[in-house]
Amino acid sequence: MINKDRVINQFLELVQIDSETKHERQIADVLKAKFTELGLDVVEDDSASRTGHAAGNLIATLKASGETGSSAAPFLFTCHMDTVAPGNGIKPIVGEDGWIRSDGTTILGSDDKAGVAALLEVIQVLRENNLPHGQIQFVITVGEESALTGSRAMDAGQLDAKYGFAIDSNGEVGSICIGAPTRAQIDIEIYGKSAHAGVNPEDGISAIQVAGKAIARMNLGRIDETTTANIGKFEGGGETNIVPDYVKLYAEARSTSLEKINKQIESMKEAVEAVCREYGTKFEFSSDLAYPAFHFNDDDDVVVLAKKAAVQLGLSGSTFISGGGSDANVFNGFGIPTVNLAVGYENIHTTEERIKAADIVKVAEYALEIVAQSLKVN
């Protein structure tokens, strides 16, 4: 029932609308109009006033239809409308090999407009064929590419769903992400003492030297199979003739285990504290858990439904754990069991990004089959 040409053309239209993260106003207006034309009740939340993004999250509600639909448990689909940079002026090219790419000067935007296009097609098919369905909320977020800013700012009270499906994961269409880590943002400020680097350097304390030795004592990279840590940015210093008295480190840690991530954060803090003590200087250390981890087993209800839908279409239904976060983390934190479905895109966040046209169709077919399977959930 999926109209292959229509869903692909929908995708090609969406990726040509500029929507780099923080600049989602144009795409939000387009999507509001599309959902409204399809007969959904559309609300844009007030998160923009708190996030600094140009638009808020969209919550489009499709009311239940049919006798079986009215008794089915409500659920949600979620995708994000923003892209990474460079994402302005995208020119999609459909190759003879079936892959869709940009012209090489920008990303493509299949992350996550392939998911959005698929969901719009699902709604059209449900309407055209008068298919029964329960209540479905389509939650299209801003700021996913900015550390899940949009979903984190959402009022969970606006969501009326017993479970959910994000459509925003790497991997073969039909595979299901059933777990992802929590992420801690870590900021470390080290204070040294300035002095003339040529006249009396012994009277100074180099904040850069202190930071370097602290980093050398940290366990970074792959800590274990579910835990990682990284220093992403080193900021500070000045003229070469001055012993630097301040630096700031921007770091992160990730783990599917709260105990392990807290242990990693503490070990990084201890490394900084020990070196600063040796040099007789001060530091400030702060960490913030940006979003929670989630993990399901293959026999959990939301996973079982996703697997049944996949197998019904001849897809694998295989499950995996991701090393990256998504809006699914946030919705699970809201108490809505949510797994993340693979879209089939490749090389995302680069100018080499690509997706098979056939996979966009498969994603739409998969989402439509999930709707059918959801009728059995009360």
Alpha carbons 6 and 290: distance in angstroms, whole number: 38
CA distance 138 to 231: 36
Q: Which domains does the chain have, with CATH numbers?
A: 4-180+293-374 (3.40.630.10), 183-291 (3.30.70.360)
- Tracing tokens 């996949």 back to the chain, one arrives at 310
Burial bucket for residue 270 (CB in 10 Å: 0-12, 13-18, 19+): middle
DSSP annotation of 157 reads G
List per-block mean pLDDT (blocks of 10 residues) for the chain, which spans 378 residues. Answer: 97 98 98 98 97 98 93 97 98 98 98 98 97 97 96 97 98 97 96 97 97 98 95 96 98 95 98 98 96 95 98 97 94 97 98 98 98 93
Residue 180: both structure tokens together: 């992802």
pLDDT value of position 378: 80
Beta strand pairing call for 75-80 and 136-141: parallel
Contact 186, 286 (CB under 8 A): yes
Q: What span, in angstroms and rounded, lies between the C-alpha atoms of 368 and 118?
A: 9
- Given a contact cutoff of 8 angstroms between Cβ atoms, the answer to whether 11 and 117 are in contact is yes
pLDDT of res. 67: 87
Query: 3-state DSSP call for residue 1?
Result: coil
Which residues, listed in sequence order, are joined to residue 65 by a DSSP beta bridge? 133
Write down the pLDDT at residue 65.
94
Which residues, including other chains, have CB under 8 Å from residue 277's CB and lie 6 or more apart?
none
The pair of three-digit structure tokens given for residue 164, joined into one six-digit string: 């959910």
Active site residue 112: no
Q: What residues pair up with 236 in beta bridges, in sequence order?
A: 247
Q: With beta carbons less than 8 A apart as the criterion, state whether 253 and 229 touch.
A: yes
Verify cis geometry, omega within 30 degrees of 0, for the bond prior to 86.
Answer: yes
Which of 20, 45, 82, 327 is catalytic? The answer is 82
pTM across the whole model: 0.91
**Which H or E run includes 365?**
helix 357-374
- Write out the H or E segment, with its range, that includes residue 34: helix 25-37
Report how far residue 146's alpha carbon sits from residue 327's, in angstroms, rounded to the nearest whole number.
11
pLDDT tens digits along 260-313? 999 999 999 999 999 999 999 999 999 999 899 999 999 999 999 999 999 999
Spot the catalytic one: 144, 145, 359, 369.
144
CA-closest candidate to residue 77, choices 178, 165, 176, 170: 165
Note if 29 is an active site residue.
no
Cα separation, 210 vs 280, whole angstroms = 10
Write out the DSSP string of 159-214: ---SEEEEEEE-SSBTBEEEEE-EEEEEEEEEE-B--BTTT-GGG-B-HHHHHHHH
